[in-house]
Structure 1
Amino acid sequence: MTAAVASAGIRDNPWLSFAGRRLGRFVVSLWVLASTAFLMIQLVPGDPVRAALGMTAPVELVNARRQALGLDDPLWVQYGHYLRGLFTGDFGTSMSSGLPVAQVIGDRLPGTLKLAVLAFAVVVVVAVPVGVVFAVLTRGGRRRGVELGFTSTTVLLAAVPEFLVAVGLVALFAVALGWFPVAGRGDASAFVLPVAALAIGPAAVLSRVVRVEMLSVLGNDFIRTARAKRLPARLVYVRHALPNALTATLTLGGLMLTGMVAGTVLVENVFAWPGLGSTIVQSILQKDYPLVQGIVLVYGVGVLLVNLVIDVLLALLDPRSTIRES
C-alpha cells in the first residue's frame, strides 16, 4: 500500500516524474556508452597488444601483457571485469606508458576542461549581448544594411573550421606579430589563442540565434504592453524580452559546449596543448587502446552530463515542459 501511494505521489508530482525519467535515460545512456566503448576495442582488427608493442616484440612479452590485461579471458568475463572496473574508477592500464588510464586522464582532463569552459564563457559573454543589440537595431525590418552585414559576417565566421581558425591565429598573432606563445601551456597569455579558436565560430552561430529569438519575442503583445507603460528600454529588453528568448539559446548553448569539448581534439594538437585532445591522438597513433577507450568514455560522460544539466535548466525556465511530458 505504501509503495502504491509513493508511486502515485511521484506520478502526481511533475518534477519528481520529470527527474525520474531524466535519471533513467541518463543511466541507460551510460550503460550504452560503456558497452559501446568496450565493443569498440573488441572489434579492432588484429591483436591490440601486438600492435602496441610492435611486430618485433618477443612472443613471451606479448603473451604476458595479454594475460596481465585479461585479454585471454572469455568475452563475457572481460565485460564483467570492465564494468566492475568502471564502478571502482579502474579504467585499465595504458599499454604505452604502463600507467593507470585513470591517472593519465586525471593529469590531462583539467587542461581540456579549462579550454572548453573558458571558450564557452567567452561565447556567452560575446554572443548574447551582440545578438540582443542587433535584434534591437534591426527589429521591424529596419536597417537592412546592418542586418545584411551582421548575417554575412556571422555566416562567414561560423563556416570556417576550428582547425583553420587555429592555424590562422597562430600564423598572425603568434608567428607574424609575436603577441602570444605559439604552443604549450604557460601563463594566461597561452590561453588566448586556443580559447579564441574554439569560441569564434560558436559565438557567431549563437549570436544569430539570440537575434532571431529576440526579434520573435519583441513582436509579442506583452512587449508592446511594456512599451505602452513607458518602461525604460533597458528594462523592457533585459527583464521582459531576454528571459523569454533564452530557451532556444540555452539549448543550443549546451550543444555548443559539448561540441567545444570535442573541438579541443583538433585545437589542442595545433597548439600542443597538454589535454585529452592531444592525448587521444597520440594514443591512437600508438595503438594504446585502453587509453583511447578511457578518453572516449570521459568525452561521452561529459556530453551526457551537459545534456542532463540543460534539460534541468530548461525545466526551471519553463516548468510547463515537465507537465507536457507527463
Structure 2
Amino acid sequence: MTLLDPTESPASRPPVSAAGRSASPAGRLPRPSSPWLRFAVRRLVGLAAIFGTLLVVSFLIVQLIPGDPAAGIAGANADLADIERLRHELRLDRPIWERFIDYVGGVFSGHLGTSFMYRQPVETIILNRLPFTATIALIGIVVVLLVSIPLGMAIGVATRGGRRKWLDTGFGVITGFLDSVPGYIMASFLVVMFGLGIGLVPLYPPAYTPRFATASFVLPIEAIVIGPICTVSRVVRRETAVVLDNDYMRTARGWRLPALKRHVKWALPNLLTTTLTLSGLILTGMIGGAIIIESVFALPGLGSGIIKAILDRDYPVIQGMVIVIGMIAALVNLLVDVLLGLIDQRTLGGSHVSA
C-alpha cells in the first residue's frame, strides 16, 4: 500500500483514464507553452501599459498646478517682458500637444527633461535622491516580511483551536491600534520619543560618519514598517488558523511528525499565497509612505524632492519623479507575483501547471 503525502488532496491529482494515463479535459493534450512564458508576456504588456499611463498622467497633472512657473522663477521684481522671455526659453508658450510630443520623445530617448529651477538634467536630480528613498522602502519591505510572517504564524499556532484567548485578543487589539496610526504621526512620535526625548538615535547625523549615517535611517524605517507589520501579521495569523484546520495538517499531526516540519514545510507554503497577494498591495503603499515620512525626518529623498518641485512648479522634476515612483511600485508588484509563481505555479494564470 502506498502512503499518500498529507499535503496532497484528491482534488489536486489529475483524473486517470482506464488505460492508467492522465486524461485531459475533452481529450485535448496540454498546451506545450510554459506558464512562465505566458506570465512574462502578460507582465511585459502590463508594464508597458503602466508606463504609458504614467507618461500621460505625469504630463497632464502638472497642467493642473495653479500659477505660472516662469513668473515664479523670474521673481517678484521681473517685468512682463522678462516673464515672456523666460516662458519662451522654457517652451511654455508652445501648444500643449506639441509639448507632450516633445516630452514623450525625450523620455523614450532617455532624457526626462531639464529642471526649471536648477537647470540640471532631471535624471541627475533623481539619481542623487533615489538612494535615500530606495534604502527606506527596500529595507522596510524586507523587515515587514521577515517579522510579520513568523509573528503571525507563531500567534496562529499558539492560539489554534481556540486556545489562549487572551493572547489572540491582546494581539488583535495591539496590532489594530498600531495599524490605525498614520505613518506621519508614528514618525513624529518616534522623533519626540527616541530622538528628542531619550536621544537614543541621532536625528541629523553627520554624513561623513558611516555609523551615524546608518543610524539616521533607523527611525524612518521603524515609522514605515510598524503599520504594515501589524496588517500582514494579522492576515498571516488568520491564514495559519485556516491552514492548520485542513485535513492534511490533521493527518500530519496524527502521524506525529515534528512540529517544525509541519509548520515550515507544509503550512507555510500554503498560507504564503494569500499573504503575499495582500502584501503586494501593502508593500506598494509603503513606497508612498516613505515619501511622506522623508519629509518628517528631512531626508533628501524623492519625497522631499517632489514636494519642493510642486512648490516651485518645476514641471520636469515632477514628471520625472512621478514616472520613477510609479515604475518602482509596478516592479515591486512584479516581484511579488514572481515569488507567488515560485511558490505555486497555479498563480501564474496558466492552465497548464508543470509537475
TM-score for both structures, normalised by structure 1? 0.91
Counterpart residue number, 2:22: none
Counterpart residue number, 1:53: 74
- Mapped to 2, the partners of 1:231 and 1:325 lie a distance apart of 32
Counterpart residue number, 2:38: 17
Counterpart residue number, 2:175: 154
Counterpart residue number, 2:246: 220
| 5+ long unaligned stretches in structure 2 | 1-29
Deviation at 1:55, TM superposition (A): 4.2
TM-score for both structures, normalised by structure 2? 0.84
2:217 is paired with a residue of what secondary structure?
helix
Counterpart residue number, 1:260: 286
On the 8 A contact 1:283/1:291 being kept in 2, the answer is: yes
- Mapped to 2, the partners of 1:318 and 1:216 lie a distance apart of 18
Instruction: Say which of 119, 138, 145 aligns to 1:98.
Output: 119
Map 1:287-326 to 2 at 5 A.
Answer: 287-321=313-347, 322-324=349-351
2:313 is paired with a residue of what secondary structure?
coil
- Mapped to 1, the partners of 2:275 and 2:33 lie a distance apart of 30
- 127-136 vs 265-274, which deviates more? 265-274
Instruction: Say which of 27, 51, 61 aligns to 1:40.
Output: 61
- Mapped to 1, the partners of 2:232 and 2:80 lie a distance apart of 55
1:178-204 superposed Cα distances (whole Å, 9 cap, x missing partner): 111124664221111111001111111
- Mapped to 1, the partners of 2:86 and 2:276 lie a distance apart of 47
Aligned residues: 318
Instruction: Say which of 195, 200, 212 aligns to 2:226.
Output: 200
Instruction: Provide the aligned C-alpha RMSD in A.
Output: 2.2
1:121-158 superposed Cα distances (whole Å, 9 cap, x missing partner): 22112111110110001111111111000000000010
Counterpart residue number, 2:295: 269
Deviation at 1:238, TM superposition (A): 0.8
Instruction: Say which of 72, 75, 79 aligns to 2:96.
Output: 75
- Which one-letter code corresponds to 1:241 in the other structure? A
1:266 is paired with a residue of what secondary structure?
helix
**Which is higher, the Rg of structure 1 or of structure 2?**
2
Structure 1 residues 17, 122: CA separation in 2 closer, same or farther (over 3 Å shift)? Answer: closer
Instruction: Say which of 116, 132, 135 aligns to 2:137.
Output: 116
- Mapped to 2, the partners of 1:311 and 1:129 lie a distance apart of 21
Deviation at 1:27, TM superposition (A): 0.6
- Which one-letter code corresponds to 2:119 in the other structure? G
1:94 is paired with a residue of what secondary structure?
coil
1:274 is paired with a residue of what secondary structure?
coil
- 176-185 vs 255-264, which deviates more? 176-185
Deviation at 1:271, TM superposition (A): 0.8
- Mapped to 1, the partners of 2:36 and 2:296 lie a distance apart of 45
On the 8 A contact 1:10/1:17 being kept in 2, the answer is: no
Counterpart residue number, 1:127: 148
- Mapped to 2, the partners of 1:26 and 1:41 lie a distance apart of 23
Counterpart residue number, 2:308: 282
On the 8 A contact 1:52/1:288 being kept in 2, the answer is: no
Matched, 1:84 2:110: no
On the 8 A contact 1:37/1:296 being kept in 2, the answer is: yes
